[in-house]
Chains A and B, each alone.
Chain A
Amino acid sequence: MSDLHWMTVEAAARAIAAKELSPVDLTKALLDRIERLDPKLNAFIRVDGDAAMAAALAAETEAQSGRLRGPLHGVPVGIKDIINVAGLPTTCHSKVMADNMATADAVCVERLRGAGAIVLGKLSTHEFAIGGPSFDLPWPPARNPWNTNHHPGGSSSGSGSGVAAGLFPMALGTDTGGSVRNPASCCGIVGLKPTYGLVSRRGVFPLSFTLDHVGPMTRTVADNALMLEVIAGHDPLDPGSAAAAQGHYGAALDRGIRGLRVGFVRHFHEIDTPAHPEVTAALEHVARNLQIEGAEVRNITLPTLGEFGAVNRVILQSEAWSIHGPWLSERPGDYGKLGRQRLMAGAFMSAGDYMLASRRRLQMIAEVEAALREVDVLLCASSMDPACRIDQPAEVERTYPRQARTPFNVTGHPALAMMAGLSVGGLPVSVQFVGRYFDEATVFQVARAWERVAGTDKKHPAII
């Protein structure tokens, strides 16, 4: 079997279940690829090769005897390094946590392993999942496989880079202000921020309690739905966990979208934060194609990106300060410059600021809910630009906030980012689909329709 590294999760799991593919061969092929490519990509903070091979051998033995743990049996996965994996340090890509050994798996990792997935190792992030690509941390920043001179987005940067480069077919990321969807956008893969509370955060180092989400990152929409089915579900020990029933998220994938109502939030990228012309053109192309596929596309107006961003920032930095304040007091030098600057900002937010943002948040939720009573799904920009060069901090600083992801951390609605096309420079540009609470299935349905039309699942970077 050739090109094992581009196999989808679905295809690999199916082949393993049919005894046509050995989990050992698959894991070995990916570890070889990691050894060859990761020095250019820095997707990993730590590769756990021996443990992965041992798990692959066990999975092979089980598969041969017809015992499958679940729908991901024998399929490798990468884990963002703010998520606990038992026996490995959770460093949060920071000197502050360099020796922080995890004694138990996070719930999302436990569920992946329970479904048969094989953990390959821990992946790069922005320090504590905030800031941007930094060169003053204990590990280098991940790079974009479409062009390694460019950043891969973040903060789940290793997850995005590694999935896109074929180092693993799926990864876990986290998303507080867009950190699953930014790397998905920059690297041309599929990244979902599920409904708030759908996936347990227990065992994940927090950035902002009321904005944090754990989400799946894959190369195809179907794989994303499959991964979500495994990691979603109520956790009574996570105070933010929702009691909603677990859904069959891939149920509507190939139903098409005839008759679905799509609300195009044009003002995000046309007025609030004018997008790069190639992004604007790509979004119009997506909308036109959804219409051709039978959807009704109409314009929708929401609060401005500027106000959504302000609400997100006040809440995020205030809550993050409550976590990091003691360390920033005692050992500010152990943080990188970007993380230190971002995390100290919460010291200067007032209780009044936080309450103002929290009260406005409830109104914003009502406004997005009202929009989603008129339409089934929202279509809008994710990143307003293709990824810029990683070695130009001023350009990173300018372009990182040019995005439309934070609104849905504020409101908690499910939001998926994926490739909308490629720029003239050969870098991915992106689109975002947003759904009603716990209606990830419809988000996947629309995303799959676009994927089928555009063939985005077949587009891979030329990195070999």
Chain B
Amino acid sequence: MAHISATDGRPARLVLTSVGLEETYPVDKETIEVLARRSGLARALADFPEDVMVAAKQAADVAQKIKRPADPTAEPWPPMKAGTTL
């Protein structure tokens, strides 16, 4: 997930990790707002701020539950296929 520098002079920190969102809420909230605006969710942030936070929380730690492939060249699914038919 994204690294970001806090605006109050504290060191940069990794956000949206599996660390409970509540524990890091003040900084994370700012980060979430930055990411939300960057994604075009300014209106949602204004009208439904709690929903934006819930959405961000859903995304926060989910990737941490996935085993990273040991092989750095591991391919994704679906594989690239040329042409118009399978």
Q: Which residues of A come within 8 Å of B, CB atoms?
A: 197, 210, 236, 240-243, 306-307, 309-311, 313-314, 317, 325-326, 328-330, 332-333, 337, 340-350, 352-353, 355-363, 365
Q: Across the interface, name the chain A residue whose C-beta is closest to B58.
A: A345
Q: Across the interface, name the chain A residue whose C-beta is closest to B16.
A: A348
Q: Specify which chain B residues have a CB less than 8 angstroms from the CB of A353 in the assembled complex.
A: 1, 59, 62-63
A-B contact count (CB 8 A): 128
27 sampled A-B residue pairs with Cβ under 8 A: A210-B77, A236-B85, A310-B63, A313-B62, A317-B59, A326-B40, A328-B41, A332-B44, A332-B47, A333-B48, A340-B44, A340-B48, A341-B58, A342-B58, A345-B56, A347-B36, A347-B56, A352-B63, A353-B59, A353-B63, A357-B66, A360-B66, A360-B67, A360-B69, A361-B76, A361-B77, A362-B79
Judge whether B58 and A317 touch: CB under 8 Å: yes
Closest Cβ of chain A: how far from B44's Cβ, in Å?
A: 4
Known A243-B85, A341-B51; judge A358-B77 contact (CB<8 A). yes
Q: Specify which chain B residues have a CB less than 8 angstroms from the CB of A210 in the assembled complex.
A: 77-78
| Complex Cα spacing A329 to B38, Å | 11
Closest Cβ of chain A: how far from B52's Cβ, in Å?
A: 6
Judge whether B41 and A347 touch: CB under 8 Å: yes
Known A314-B62, A314-B63, A350-B1; judge A344-B44 contact (CB<8 A). yes
Judge whether B35 and A348 touch: CB under 8 Å: yes
Of the residues B43, B54, B55, B76, contact of A347 by C-beta under 8 Å: B55
Judge whether A356 and B85 touch: CB under 8 Å: no
| Complex Cα spacing A323 to B56, Å | 18
| Complex Cα spacing A426 to B32, Å | 45
Known A236-B85, A329-B41, A347-B41; judge A310-B62 contact (CB<8 A). yes
Judge whether B48 and A332 touch: CB under 8 Å: yes
Q: Specify which chain B residues have a CB less than 8 angstroms from the CB of A359 in the assembled complex.
A: 69, 74-77
